[in-house]
Structure 1
Amino acid sequence: MKRSLTAGLLALLVGLQASTTLAKPADPHTWDYLQPDRDQVIASLNVVELLKRHHYNKPPLNDARAAKIFDSYIEMLDPSRSYFTAGDVAEFEAWRNQFDDFLKNGNLEPGFIIYKVHLERLQSRLQYALSLLEQGVDSFDFTLDEELLVDRENAARPENERELDDLWRKRVKDEVLRLKIAGKEPKAIEELLTKRYKNQLARLEQTRGEDVFQTYINAFAQSYDPHTQYLSPDNAENFDINMSLSLEGIGAVLQSDNEHVKVVRLVPAGPAEKSKQIAPADKIVGVGQSDEEIVDVIGWRLDEVVKLIRGPKGSVVRLEVIPASNAPNDQSSKVVAITREAVKLEEQAAKKSVLKLNQDGRDYKLGVIEIPAFYLDFKALRAGDKEYKSTTRDVKKLLTELEEENVDGVVIDLRNNGGGSLQEATELTGLFIDQGPTVLVRNSDGRVDVLADEQQGVFYKGPLAVLVNRLSASASEIFAGAMQDYHRALIVGGQTFGKGTVQTVQPLNHGELKLTLAKFYRVSGQSTQHQGVIPDISYPAEVDTKEIGESALPEAMPWDSIRAAVNPDMNPFKPFLAELKSRHEGRTHEDPDFVFTRDRLALTQELTHETTISLNEEKRRAQQERIEKRQLALENTLREAKGEEPLAKLEKEDETTPHVEDKKINPEADAYLSESGRILLDYLGLNKAMAKNQSVER
């Protein structure tokens, strides 16, 4: 959904510079070379104009927006409230309501001044941390009853240098303790942390004016919504670099998370997904090439980590990862080796299997079609290749094969499907409905475009369920939403991701701007934005929805609704939903996989609410032991219920652990898939019984 915008916007230049009255940093000479240039001024003015004319919301650039930009910028520079003092921020406050005027006038100086203060503070903190390590890690007393506040999102800022020193002393002490408990020797701990802080200092000295400009303009752009973003000239070639690494990399969607890089989702059929060694919400803390030493990347910028992870096809990258399954304060890591490769279209292709279930004393066969992504081979299509691959063509073929096997119904598995071709979402919907709208696209001018299935007839008329989870996004949500709105399928699983906005990339004189210019709506008029698709029958979440999903992103645009495009006939599922839910809950209340998922997430959320950690070694070890015992108990309860040998201790996978790729999945062993099939069979049985009763009454 890209749109060409007015080329004339790129010629804008306003020469006026608003005056700045705030004092310069106390010792600014180190960073004097960081100054905005003419190209950046022009680019900033172009961004202002593009957002004013073409952003979906078109919010005014006024004092209220200025305050949002100010807060966003401070948050970007100091998310843990560990660099700026309360006095620093109080001084910056003089500019709080002026950023609208600064941006309209092309005045970038305030943004540069604040960034340079940030560099001063960061340099000072790293030097202080190194001075502590010079005294030796044995100088820390781990018998004291001290605590560190780790959740500092709403913490009071340090009032002065003394309070900053105390905070950073505890931070360094915590890092030493984490490594000590992980089994590292004092000398190795000292070397690792010294190298980490020295590397960060060296990187500070390489700061460019472009780094400052990109951060500042993104504080402005992302105050509109999280997907509106400025890309510097270096990053423009890596479109959406903070969201995708699919080309000759590891095939993972990454984002910055304070000082770490976090995995958001895995690209279907990508190297990371096939390795089975990485999962969403894992944190990457180190990157190495093949047999080379792993480089510590804590505190690095996302784009710099990306450069290390990417490389030639066939080469090996080694990642040091803190698994999301760890307790929140457990920083123990594992090293995984992944061979880089481009994702092949045929590996993302839809696949079928047959799920065999016995219900109420009768054997059933259900077709399962797994769709990893909504794909379309544009190159083959343009070349006139009649055998070009697409999701819809492949699913149509699979449905034919399943019907030849006399299946009793079909489950479409969209778990972890992050989307893809909008055209394919529309055409796939058309296989299951008889003409009609499939999705609505509302543009920034208020015009609503209706995408529709124009083909007459329904290709597959049989019973249908659609299985989704939190990582089902975009095109997946459009298809699942249409199936729900047309009452064509039962939707089961987890609440979907909630990305219901459309972006375009607009070239600037200097870099590019990705901006949100439209919003998706279901045929019922409901947006897929923020809320996603709510299943008819919900399964326990496998990931924390506060960590993963559109609603977890700052400034995410809200859910809303517009006029419906269709008013389908009475919902055939509605009379049975209460009974279907009751039967589902009865089956899964003691089901080991469902119990494990519920209990594991509950434990993670419980631990996440712990905002402080002890710096007393004895207490810390005891706490970690308690957590590991609970995790082990959950794991062993699951293993014993499946007839497997219990573990003596939690296993930590590493790169030496063998992994089987392309293993044929037994659909009956997938608890969520089997339960989806049983729900569909429940519906068929209830519907048949109702029809029989109605026939008798007549």
Structure 2
Amino acid sequence: MRILALQSSIFRTGRLVPSVALAIISFLWLTSSSAWSANNYAFSDNQSKTTVEIVDKLTTRHYRNLPLDDELSVQYFDQLLDSLDPTKSYLLQTDIDEFSALRTQMDDLLRRGNLESGFKIFSRYNQRAESRLEWIISKLEDEKFLFDFTKDESLSIDPEQLSWQQDQKAADELWRKRLKSNVLSLKLAGKTQAEAKETLHRRYGNQLKRLQQQDSEDIFEALINALTMLYDPHTNYLSPRTRENFNISMSLSLEGIGAVLQSEDEHTKVVRLITAGPADKQGELKPADKIVAVGQGDDGELVDVVGWRLDEVVDLIRGPKNTVVRLSVIPADAVDDSVNKTIRINRGKVKLEEQAAKKAVIELTDGSELFKIGVIHVPAFYIDFEAYRRGDADFKSTTRDVYKLLAELDQEGIDGLILDLRNNGGGSLQEATTLTDLFIDPGPVVQIRQANQPISRHSRSRKPALYRGPMVVLINRLSASASEIFAGAIQDYQRGLVIGSQSFGKGTVQSLTPVYEGELKITESKFYRVSGDSTQHRGVVPDIALPSLVDPEDVGESTYDNALPWDKIHEVPHEKYFDFTGLISELTRRHEERASSDPDLIYLVDQVANLASIKDKSEISLNENARLAEQKAIEDKNLELINKRRTGKGQEPFADIEAFKSDSEKEEEQQASQSQDTIDVDNDALLQETGYILLDYMKLMNQRKSQQVANF
């Protein structure tokens, strides 16, 4: 996962294949040859040497300290097959039975750098996939091959119910249904059946072409990444070619649309948006949206990219600034793949100054008194390293900007502070530490542990706190890494409350190390809070939870296979600033009472429940009328929920779904045109509610102090 850049994994027909390599454990057909070929594939002596070196580094330097043994061989085998053919579409049960012979032998083969079995299994998969794609293309070219969408058929979409097909006949029937589902989705999106077949012909033709163009370096990288990803999802092998492309991509990492993408099955999925990037400013692209087509300019053809490699999709999306790219996406809340939306984005570059922290003031009343709540939104933990290294006195950084904003808010006479870290994907550890320094007195901020090495506590707050007033930290699922370090420290010191939804859970550190050919990105250390809790996997759990439309099942560290687990080490002595005993339960009660009558918060909770019901499907109908009825029921439900909200706010309900859609488009255009330099406090229900929670917090703390004085 990275910002519109190459991924070290290889995408094949219908799947991200970092684990493709697990195939290395199949047949017993081993020879003494150091270079073997099949289907024009051959691994080299250099690749064998690289394998031996990578195995050594993984088993001696990776944080997980996972031995390469028979148990790992079994995991490797299973993950390979799942990664190579996740929907069980190409390989047959007979292939799996044949492959299983080497389940527990892969560890020995990898230590010796013997890649023969892996290349043979990859070859078998390639043969099956090529044959199947040719079958699909021949069907799509047949004018008589049409589907009857009046029949009551369904296709299972529950990954837990998938199984390898027993023979070719069963596989043909599965693919008939999948093609029917593809055609129906395109038909519901506005194409004729003939046009849908033409689109699918191009899609599968491109997949076949890519399959036939892969070479030994592609296969080797995929095979090795199948092993590295058993250690954790952030450990990857970069071949010389991938590393070269990666360097180019990183030099342009903030050029394009400013989105973090990853491959998921045959789609390119949005993980998060870069704050102040072109996509974020445009406002329509959302996390968990799936990109299905890319068009250049306002009139360029929308090129279907389903089944493409991630780097190829990135190449289409990236381009010169001030040019237009159009993305056809399946929204995260879509009922099925037939729901598409085209988004127009002006390419650009994320500028450091556009990611700068900004402030606002919310005025709230408890019915008798007016309070000023300061808000500082921190979109990233940034620092101008070049200016810093040059010794520039006025270099730009998160901490320096927040320092100035705090001084300005103090002049405005704020009563409390909200530090908004929503959608902050992290950045500089140094900045996370120095920002914490503005709110606590000298003390440790984070612990860092490397495998089999002493724990480092050098990241510390070193100066007296600048701001000592009441504060809360607002987070969500997209708050990650450095954001989690800051929020965790504020929570552990009981310096302020953490409000929102559970954060991302990225609590590991990677480094690049050269190997015989290419480089290995390896996880070598892990972050821990001063309480001893890891930020890994679990992230930061808020003291008071707010609803979120970002599904933790779709986004977050816990969604990755083999993510390092949460754990705990010794607590480091640290001060506790406030006693929250009994306070959080009362604050939660007051929040829930308020939320039960707030139309905006009720609507948000209703949306979350509605999305969950839409996604809770194990099969999809292949009957056109049934699908249309299902879509209408969802649209009617959405209209019902939005009208419930509007009625609660004293607004006129929408007459129909078209009026709702028209209003939504106008609202999105208005949001896109708004200045990015300001915080829209009036239309942010979660920010408003956080303000009221802070207000309750201040009042309860003042009551407690008054009681303590009276008792004294």
TM-score, structure 2 normalization:
0.91
Contact 2:25/2:103 (8 A) holds in 1: no
CA offsets 1:489-547 (integer angstroms, 9 cap, x no match)? 11000000011111111122322211100000000110001100011101112211111
Residue matched to 2:18? none
Residue matched to 1:393? 400
Whichever residue aligns with residue 230 of structure 1, its letter is Y
Whichever residue aligns with residue 309 of structure 1, its letter is I
**Which residue, 82, 86, 97 being the options, matches 2:89?**
82
2:335 pairs with 1:321: no
* Partner SS, residue 680 of structure 1: helix
2:662 pairs with 1:648: no
Whichever residue aligns with residue 678 of structure 1, its letter is Y
**Which residue, 284, 304, 325 being the options, matches 1:296?**
304
**How do residues 19-418 of structure 1 correspond to structure 2 at under 5 angstroms?**
21-22=28-29, 32-136=39-143, 139-239=146-246, 246-290=253-297, 291-327=299-335, 329-418=336-425
Cα distance, 1:22 vs. partner?
A: 4.5
2:689 pairs with 1:679: no
Structure 1 stretches lacking a partner, 5+ long: 1-16
**How do residues 589-608 of structure 1 correspond to structure 2 at under 5 angstroms?**
589-608=596-615
Residue matched to 2:11? none
Q: CA RMSD in A?
A: 2.5
State which drifts further: 188-197 or 415-424: 188-197
Residue matched to 2:633? 626
Aligned pair count? 677
CA distance in 2, matches of 1:640, 1:530: 40
CA distance in 2, matches of 1:575, 1:30: 69
2:664 pairs with 1:660: no
Cα distance, 1:136 vs. partner?
A: 3.5
**How do residues 569-580 of structure 1 correspond to structure 2 at under 5 angstroms?**
569=576, 571-580=578-587
* Partner SS, residue 205 of structure 1: helix
Cα distance, 1:571 vs. partner?
A: 4.5
CA distance in 1, matches of 2:221, 2:665: 37
CA offsets 1:62-100 (integer angstroms, 9 cap, x no match)? 011111111121111111111111111111111111111
State which drifts further: 220-229 or 641-650: 641-650
State which drifts further: 484-493 or 151-160: 151-160
| 1:317–1:235 distance in 2 versus 1, CA, 3 Å | farther
* Partner SS, residue 339 of structure 2: coil
Cα distance, 1:340 vs. partner?
A: 2.1
Cα distance, 1:311 vs. partner?
A: 2.1
Whichever residue aligns with residue 500 of structure 2, its letter is G
* Partner SS, residue 148 of structure 1: strand
* Partner SS, residue 563 of structure 2: coil
CA distance in 2, matches of 1:452, 1:686: 33
State which drifts further: 659-668 or 31-40: 659-668
| 1:19–1:179 distance in 2 versus 1, CA, 3 Å | closer
| 1:477–1:18 distance in 2 versus 1, CA, 3 Å | closer
| 1:413–1:559 distance in 2 versus 1, CA, 3 Å | same
CA distance in 1, matches of 2:319, 2:122: 32
Cα distance, 1:32 vs. partner?
A: 1.7
State which drifts further: 499-508 or 161-170: 499-508
Cα distance, 1:606 vs. partner?
A: 1.8
Whichever residue aligns with residue 675 of structure 1, its letter is E
**How do residues 508-527 of structure 1 correspond to structure 2 at under 5 angstroms?**
508-527=515-534
Sequence identity of aligned pairs in percent? 49
CA distance in 2, matches of 1:213, 1:654: 47
CA distance in 1, matches of 2:667, 2:645: 25
CA offsets 1:423-444 (integer angstroms, 9 cap, x no match)? 0000011111110000000011
Residue matched to 2:703? 689
Contact 2:28/2:117 (8 A) holds in 1: no
**Which residue, 548, 552, 567 being the options, matches 1:560?**
567
| 1:459–1:358 distance in 2 versus 1, CA, 3 Å | same
CA distance in 2, matches of 1:562, 1:224: 21
* Partner SS, residue 667 of structure 1: coil
Cα distance, 1:316 vs. partner?
A: 2.3
CA offsets 1:181-214 (integer angstroms, 9 cap, x no match)? 2221222112111111212112221112122111
| 1:18–1:640 distance in 2 versus 1, CA, 3 Å | closer
CA distance in 1, matches of 2:251, 2:638: 32
Whichever residue aligns with residue 430 of structure 1, its letter is D
CA distance in 1, matches of 2:252, 2:690: 32
State which drifts further: 116-125 or 406-415: 116-125
CA distance in 1, matches of 2:38, 2:441: 65
CA offsets 1:530-576 (integer angstroms, 9 cap, x no match)? 10001110111221111110111100111101011124337522231
CA offsets 1:212-234 (integer angstroms, 9 cap, x no match)? 11111111000001111112223
Residue matched to 2:444? 437
Whichever residue aligns with residue 454 of structure 2, its letter is R
Whichever residue aligns with residue 171 of structure 1, its letter is R
Contact 1:65/1:100 (8 A) holds in 2: yes
State which drifts further: 356-365 or 259-268: 356-365
* Partner SS, residue 511 of structure 2: strand
State which drifts further: 206-215 or 484-493: 206-215
Whichever residue aligns with residue 305 of structure 1, its letter is V
* Partner SS, residue 223 of structure 1: helix
| 1:148–1:66 distance in 2 versus 1, CA, 3 Å | same
Residue matched to 2:6? none
* Partner SS, residue 411 of structure 1: strand
Contact 1:246/1:252 (8 A) holds in 2: no
CA distance in 1, matches of 2:693, 2:248: 40
* Partner SS, residue 261 of structure 1: strand
Contact 2:445/2:461 (8 A) holds in 1: no
* Partner SS, residue 582 of structure 2: helix
State which drifts further: 139-148 or 312-321: 312-321
Contact 1:531/1:551 (8 A) holds in 2: yes
CA distance in 2, matches of 1:567, 1:382: 32
CA distance in 1, matches of 2:30, 2:450: 44
Cα distance, 1:646 vs. partner?
A: 2.0
CA distance in 2, matches of 1:395, 1:173: 56
Whichever residue aligns with residue 656 of structure 2, its letter is A
| 1:381–1:242 distance in 2 versus 1, CA, 3 Å | closer
Structure 2 stretches lacking a partner, 5+ long: 1-23
CA distance in 2, matches of 1:137, 1:406: 76
State which drifts further: 67-76 or 473-482: 67-76
CA distance in 2, matches of 1:370, 1:657: 21
Contact 1:495/1:533 (8 A) holds in 2: yes
State which drifts further: 569-578 or 532-541: 569-578
Cα distance, 1:656 vs. partner?
A: 13
